[in-house]
């Protein structure tokens, strides 16, 4: 890159919060390190990034791209057409924006954009959140300059020369949650002195987690336990219809929580799926957690993620198939065991990598400047 030329970065991907929030953390770190840097997001139309990225203050362009379904569907027949259209549109985006580097964070849009960028000789990097990468990132990494990972031993997938162990970037504000408990309780209109659970199945929601709470509402009320309950967009309206806030005054039901830092701050215990991004956040927050891995993800990587923490006594693991019956009783038992809570919090905190976003951003700028 010529001396004094403005750095331009494209960040592509999304589809779920697990891909999007690390992308936003990287974007914020890039702007912090290089305020004059110009950023463009490329996402998939109709996905979470098309709403959340503009709200975070960044420009985004959507591709008409989708993933392949595991079963035979009509939408799978459209996949080749949408892929070709997305690659052609990616070529146009690159021609007009003229990036110095393209960053892929996983999700439908990262494939076409990074493929188009690498064909035009533009440096690319990949941020892999999971302990077992998907096919897309394995292929994209072949031509990438760097692959930023969160787990040791990833060289077996990507080659030692490209891999940088940085951890996963986490959302701004999570580093300060320890000082925000009173603010968090006030924000969600909860009482001080009562135990509080933050339960989240991610931006889309998790049916198993939602059913687990619904099955034990009376038990939660009897134990005077408060719940910040992020149901996800797929479940919110149905749950809200059948739920009585007067009957369960300590339960706060929300489709999506934008101030997740305050939810973490208010909580004494966190219940979540075991996506890589969520685990990275839990490590930084450093509170007791119960993980319920989703069985419906590629390579069963959430179970691998959760087992890695459970083996180090950094979190408890409850299987999806038994969660409806066992999850809330296990949570109540843990809330009654201060010694075990302290042990889990101490061990998960040791796994945190709070500087991940800045490390990744600094390397991106370095590669862009050298190109």
Q: Please tell me whether 17 is known to bind a ligand.
A: yes
Strands 60-63 and 38-44: parallel
Question: Which of 5, 106, 103 has the alpha carbon at shortest distance from 361?
Answer: 103
Q: What angle do CA 141, 146, 151 make, to 5 degrees?
A: 85
Are 361 and 25 in contact by the 8 Å Cβ rule? The answer is: no
Q: Is 257 annotated for ligand binding?
A: yes
Residue 188 · residue 266 · CB < 8 Å? yes
263 Cβ contact partners less than 8 Å away, ≥ 6 residues apart: 184, 188, 198, 200, 228, 230, 257
First CA to last CA across the chain, in angstroms? 5
What are the distances in angstroms from CA 305 to CA 145, 163, 198, 273? 26, 19, 20, 10
Q: What is the DSSP string of 185-234?
A: HHHTT--TTS-EEEEE-TTT--HHHHHHHHTTHHHHHHTT-EEEEE--TT
Q: Rounded distance, CA 44 to CA 48, Å?
A: 9
Is 16 assigned a ligand-binding role in the annotation?
A: yes
Tally of residues, the chain: 371
Asked whether 114 and 125 are in contact (CB, 8 A), the reply is: no
Picking from 357, 360, 365, 358, the residue whose alpha carbon sits closest to that of residue 6 is 365
Residues 176, 172: Cα–Cα separation, whole Å: 9
171 is in an annotated binding site: yes
SS3 content of the chain, % helix, strand, coil (to 5): 45, 15, 40
- Rounded to whole angstroms, how far apart are CA atoms 363 and 341? 37
CA 190 to CA 252: how far, in whole Å? 9
Numbered residues of the known binding site: 16-18, 130, 171, 203, 257, 302
Numbered residues of the known binding site for UDP-N-acetyl-alpha-D-glucosamine: 16-18, 130, 171, 203, 257, 302
């Amino acid at each position: 890159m010529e001396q004094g030329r403005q750095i331009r970065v494209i960040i592509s991907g999304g589809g779920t919060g697990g891909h999007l929030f690390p992308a936003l953390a990287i974007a914020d770190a890039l702007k912090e390190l290089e305020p004059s840097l110009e950023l463009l997001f490329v996402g998939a139309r109709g996905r979470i990034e098309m709403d959340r990225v503009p709200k975070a203050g960044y420009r985004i362009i959507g591709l008409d791209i989708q993933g392949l379904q595991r079963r035979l569907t009509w939408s799978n027949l459209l996949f080749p057409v949408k892929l070709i259209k997305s690659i052609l549109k990616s070529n146009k985006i690159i021609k007009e924006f003229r990036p110095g580097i393209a960053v892929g964070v996983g999700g439908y849009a990262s494939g076409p954009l990074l493929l188009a960028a690498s064909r035009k000789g533009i440096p690319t990097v990949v941020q892999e959140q999971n302990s077992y990468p998907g096919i897309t990132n394995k292929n994209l990494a072949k031509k990438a300059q760097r692959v930023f990972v969160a787990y040791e031993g990833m060289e077996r997938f990507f080659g030692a020369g490209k891999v940088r162990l940085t951890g996963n970037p986490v959302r701004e504000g999570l580093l300060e949650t320890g000082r925000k408990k009173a603010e968090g309780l006030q924000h969600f209109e909860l009482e001080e002195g009562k135990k509080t659970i933050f339960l989240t199945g991610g931006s889309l929601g998790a049916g198993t987690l939602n059913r687990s709470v619904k099955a034990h509402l009376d038990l939660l009320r009897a134990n005077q336990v408060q719940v910040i309950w992020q149901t996800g967009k797929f479940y919110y309206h149905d749950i809200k219809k059948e739920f009585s806030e007067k009957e369960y005054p300590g339960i706060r039901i929300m489709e999506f929580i934008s101030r997740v830092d305050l939810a973490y701050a208010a909580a004494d215990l966190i219940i979540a799926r075991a996506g890589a991004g969520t685990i990275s956040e839990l490590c930084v927050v450093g509170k007791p957690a119960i993980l319920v891995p989703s069985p419906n993800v590629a390579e069963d990587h959430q179970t691998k993620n959760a087992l890695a923490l459970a083996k180090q006594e950094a979190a408890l693991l409850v299987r999806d198939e038994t969660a409806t019956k066992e999850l809330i009783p296990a949570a109540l038992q843990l809330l009654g065991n201060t010694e075990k809570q302290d042990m889990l919090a101490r061990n998960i905190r040791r796994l945190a990598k709070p500087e991940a976003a800045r490390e990744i951003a600094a390397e991106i700028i370095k590669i862009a400047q050298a190109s």
